[in-house]
Copies of this chain bind each other. A is one copy, B any other.
Amino acid sequence: MPKQTFFNLPEEKREKLIDVATDEFAKNSFNSASITKIVEKAGIAKGSLYQYFEDKKDLYKYILELSANKKKEYLIEWMNRLQHLSFIEMIRELYVKGVAFAADNPRLAGIANNFMKENDTKFKEEILGISIEKSNQLFEQLIENAKNKGEVSRNIDTKVAAFLVTNLNTSIVDYMLTYMTYEEIFQNKEELLDKVDKMLFIMENGFKAK
């Protein structure tokens, strides 16, 4: 976490640094992101940055956490309504909110997206603080519940289904951020949400003609 000096900073300066660092980590992987460029763009001395943060990883963790918190804020309303929804409605909401968040906050979504692409699993787990295995367990639980309620077929494999659901979610966001400009994403938000609906239809009913 940042040192106290960082929080003692005047808000404008602090926000500027956060803004610039967000940009850099949204456009580059952890390794490719440059501290030198960040301090130049923020208009501060390199030594100053090391008065605020322990090292590059410390800054990265902080920026990643900020982006995760923004997403949590975005999802909080949804979380409360969660109980009243059927499984497939829940997944649809998750996808829709995920795509909408990425459309409205492409830089923040980009940071998380780049993080997912990191190869070094040790590094990832160190940053997340938890084993990646565990983050799938929430979905597995949801699917099990849906099976018990008769919403989801008992013939499907829970773990495989959880994998499918999470991976498609990240694939959509990755597609948006990798192959569309921020401008295009923003302008085609409705169209993207429509595609999410179409994808959910396939997942609900399958490919097979009846």
On A, residues with C-beta under 8 Å from B are 27-29, 31-32, 87-88, 114, 117, 119, 121, 132, 146-147, 150-157, 160-161, 163-164, 167-168, 171, 175, 178-179, 195, 198-199, 201-210
Contact = CB atoms under 8 A, between A and B. Distances in A.
Given A32-B31, A114-B119, A164 B153 contact: no
B88 A208 contact: yes
A178 B123 CA distance: 12
Given A168-B164, A168-B167, A168-B168, A204 B208 contact: yes
Main secondary structure of the interface of A (DSSP, over half): helix
18 contacts: A31-B31, A114-B119, A119-B178, A121-B178, A132-B179, A152-B208, A152-B209, A153-B209, A155-B201, A156-B202, A156-B207, A157-B201, A157-B202, A163-B175, A164-B203, A203-B206, A204-B206, A204-B208
Contacts of A155: 201, 205
A27 B119 CA distance: 8
B203 A207 contact: yes
A91 to B, nearest CB: 8
Contacts of A168: 164, 167-168, 171
A88 B208 CA distance: 8
Nearest to A28: B119
A156 B198 contact: yes
Contacts of A87: 207
Contacts of A27: 119
A161 B114 contact: no
